[in-house]
Structure 1
Amino acid sequence: MSFPSQCLPRLPLMLSLLLGSMVLAHAVVAQDGIDDIFDTPTPKPSTPAEADTDAPSPPAATEAAVPLGGDRSRMGFTQENVAAQMAELEERMFRLSEALLNLEPENASRLRLALKFSREELILQQMRDTQALLEEAQLGKAETEVRQLLAKLEHLRNLLLAEDLDFELKLARLRQMRETLAQLERIIKEEQRELAWSRSAIETQEELDRLRSRREDLESIIRDQNAVLETTTNGKDAATPKDRAEAVSGAIAREAGVRETAATLAADPLFAEREPAWLKQAIPHVDDTTTHLEADSLDPALNSGQQALDLFLKERDRLDERIAEAEAAISEDQFRQFERDQNRNRDATDALSRVSSRLGDAGVSLQKNLIDASGAMRDAEGNLAQTEPEPAANDQLDALKKLLESRETLAGAMEDLLVELRTELQAQILADLTEMYEAQVAIRESTEAQAPRAAEQSRTALIALAGLAKSEAELAARIEQLTDLVEITEFGIALPTSLRVLGREMLAVEALLKAGDATQPTIALERRIEEDLLGLIQAMRRLPPSTPPPPGTPLPTNPRDRERELNRLVAELKMIRMLQTRLNDDTVIVDETRPDDTPLSAELRRAIDALRNNQDEIRASLSKIGRQLEPPGLGGEVDL
């Protein structure tokens, strides 16, 4: 055995010493009357007869304060010592993981996993914060922090001593995959936004070119209309009838051109969809102008022509505003902003590519796709810098395709890992539930044995019931651990709810036994837990570890696959039926205790709220099962 591996067993020992120190600190902080440990004791009032004997009481009070200050210093020193030991432990875990990397990869992985947990949970910093709370005499907050630290250190010790390290590593890998997938989703969402803007910029550029072209046509109409008005004015002021007739004839010819061009522009979608339609409104005035000119009514012709010109000018002003908006939308500043955004998204992609190697085989293809996507993003940055949205959009589309391919690959690898974990977890759950059933039977039998003496308030019986309460609390803790694993691995639909309800029943039994209650209702609840454990074991044996098919998927034609999906449905519905049956039993019991006329007590309201919450959980689980069976094309929550 190598020297580093010889040092490995010492780490759990160091951690056990840390736990011992933390437990001692917690006991000191949580002891009765600790809230006034730093207060100077108030001397008892003395009677006149005792005045002489009470004279030296102030010095006694001063002396009594010394040990209390010593307790404060002792607690602070203990916490400081614990923090120093934790810092040393983290340093040793890091050095040993590096030394064992090639010699003993499994132990190195164990150490890295423990070190990662310690740093992510900020255990060392929390210890220092606790020391500060102790120095400031904030004992209530300090006790809460110490309890949290005890739980974290216990988990850390379990990691170092875990026999099934492979399962723990797979769970850690699953968390890493989910974190990676969440980061990838954010990158994809940002790249979709970049691509949408680039495509919008292409459309805006094309629209801007059309607007500028139409503005030239509109400017030509305005010039011609001004010319018509000027010619008409000249005809009105002409010295001879011949000059007047020539001016009017020229104005009529030019107004015909204005009318034709205005009608063409008015039919253009760039103007036709705008309200008010100034061009369409101007055309009747142009016609009136022509009619008055043909009738040699020059003053009315000038009025109609001016009205048409005013409408043309309004349309030009509105067109100028549209051009300004389009230019602002694709200004150089906008291109620079999206170039910076693209650069940040590329940096995020590169960072994700660097850490993707931690995902094992799945990380190899992921890293390749991310590198390709990063290269396409870099090309898009260059095109955005040149204010060229079309090639930038093409590059962004290439990057997005690679990102989507990465997501599909990662999701497939995560699904394979989930199936592996669920298969192992199923065996663990069945074994744990079987052990818990046997333990629950033993607790119930002991409760029945102690019931007669407990009814007589026998101290021996009450102590025995307190011990049974601790055993029941341990079962509830095991149920809670299983629930966490089931939720992490997304195993089953009704299974998490079933385990939570079972855990609440165990906690109820614990409270009853702790209070020395060994009556028939307590024993009946214990029997119900036994029945629920057996029912859950039977359902678990039929629940396949694979992920359910998407909603609307028909049953497989292959007989074995079809049987698997039917077993899944039967298992889920068995658990739902068990939950609903228990809820109905509890509802009947609560309803029997409900008064007819008097207002509901606070305790009864809490019981009703608990029933309502349980019903909501059951309904949510059944809705999820229903969505698995809904026909294709339907969405939303199934109406139950």
Structure 2
Amino acid sequence: MMMVVIGSGPWLAAQDGPRQESPLGVRQRQVARMMQDLETRFRSIARKLQEKEPERAAKLLKAFEESKRLLIERRMTETVALLEAAKLEDAGSNQTELINDLKTLVALLLDEDATTEAERQEIDRLKQWRQTLKLLVREEGEQAYSSDNLARPTERKQTLFQVTMAIQRVVDREKQLTLRTADVRQRGIDGLADLVGQQQSIRADTDVVLELLTGGSESSDRASEFQLVMPGQTPVEEAIRGQRTVEKELAAGRGRAAQETQLEVVKSLEQALDELVEARQELDLLSPESFNELANQQDGIADKTEVLGQEMAQVAQAGVAEEAANDETATAATATAESSQQHVGKARKSMQLAAGQLREKTAGDAHAAQTQALNDLRRALDLVEKRLSELGADLQQDAMQRLQQMFAAMLERQQVATRQTVALEEKKNEQEGQLKRSDRVTLRKVTAEEKALAKEAQQALALLEEEGTSIVFPSVVANLAENLLAVAKLVENQRTGSFTQELQVEIEQTLLELLGALEQAQGKQNARGEAGEAGEGEQGKTPLLPNTAELKMLRALQLRVNRRTQALDANRQGDQELDKLRQEQLTAISKMQERIRDMVGEILARQR
């Protein structure tokens, strides 16, 4: 890794004792620190890109070399010394050179930012393609299933009849148990628990019905393969959920609630029967004209597939032209568009073939062609999902690095503000609760700094919400922003005592915990990368933080809520009512406690 040499200059050796910094020197020193942050960003981006996109990594490493050659950071340090020595002419000359050198680096960085924006545009385009492909898969699946019905109508009717009879038997048993529940209720709750076993037996039969619908026959197997919802499937699934609820209510002795749920279960099962009757009627209505109707529908799906293929072809052609002009090898974006377009093109040809075979009334052959079209659509979808996963991992890595830099800088600034608050309180105590004019100026600066840090926290929150995979992290950062604003209001009202100081310490602790969690997440991502593990699509995207890290943060957040509650109580005099500021704090604590409860449920749901 290349390191930028930071020179100190001979002027430092000549300094004896403390020196007074000029305002211009302070500002120049701030610019120097910003330059350090800028070069840190170059390092992190280049390191991330080295394996997958070495061309872009080389471009950024070129910026490193340029920075090293120009010795920008060293010249900034020397400029600070010139400003503090009041050698304004020499300092101005140095600054002019620095501005020109910085322009070179800014151009490189802007080019990288443009590349990142191009990635975001690619993600939006890929998401649209994914949505279209999923819709095409579902529609073509319905076509293939309908063709299968046309090819084997007698077998399909027999399957529907068998499922209908099975559901009717379950309905009869559920109605009988409902009457039994009402009878037991009249004699008290003691006998309700004895009915649990009967309900479990009925649910077992309902599970068999669902298996028949979704996987218990060749036709159902094919429906599952095409990602279809079978007639009667949804209400049967609702009935099973209701039966589980009945079992719990009976075991708890809640007879009335159990009986009401049983009636809902019967209603769902009867809805399933209606759907199956309708499906059988549709089979009875099949005629030679049905083949033409299905063929026309197939033409419509083929037309939509053609439009998607044209979009992919345009992207691929534009990428090839741009790469040829720049003498570059094919990028992952272009390769994905080209390969996906090839599969989509094959799917369209299979659809056209199926439409022709339907018009010739050879439904079995049409079904085979439609199955081939489905396979090609799925291959295109897999390619799009894979590319989205790669881009998502890159952006997630970038988000973590940006958050680490933001929180580290915020922690350093907050520690300064905390020390200033402590000093202000000490002066208030020494001056009988009064502050001098200079102290009030410091007070306003601390207030402004806490508000500025709150804005930084809001920016971090926006970044987390855009990334979208963390459950606890955004809530912790949102709570951090609220605490910073609360401190700002307290300091503004000259409330610099123990309660405010404790809240500032909590803010520092929160930032430390956030940095620790990010470091853990970074290690996990690096381990996955070294192991060659691929990420998942957006709906199953690897979370920014693992569940263990989220739970640790949640525990820390609960402990902070506990401490804030205790501090609020400790700062109250006896049984006196809370003033407005402390009442606002209490409301914020209450809301956070509710949010913690909700987050526990969300994490457990993700764990399943």
TM-score, with length taken from structure 1? 0.46
Give the TM-score of the pair, scaled to structure 2: 0.48
Q: Which has the higher contact order (CA 8 A, sep 6+)?
A: 2
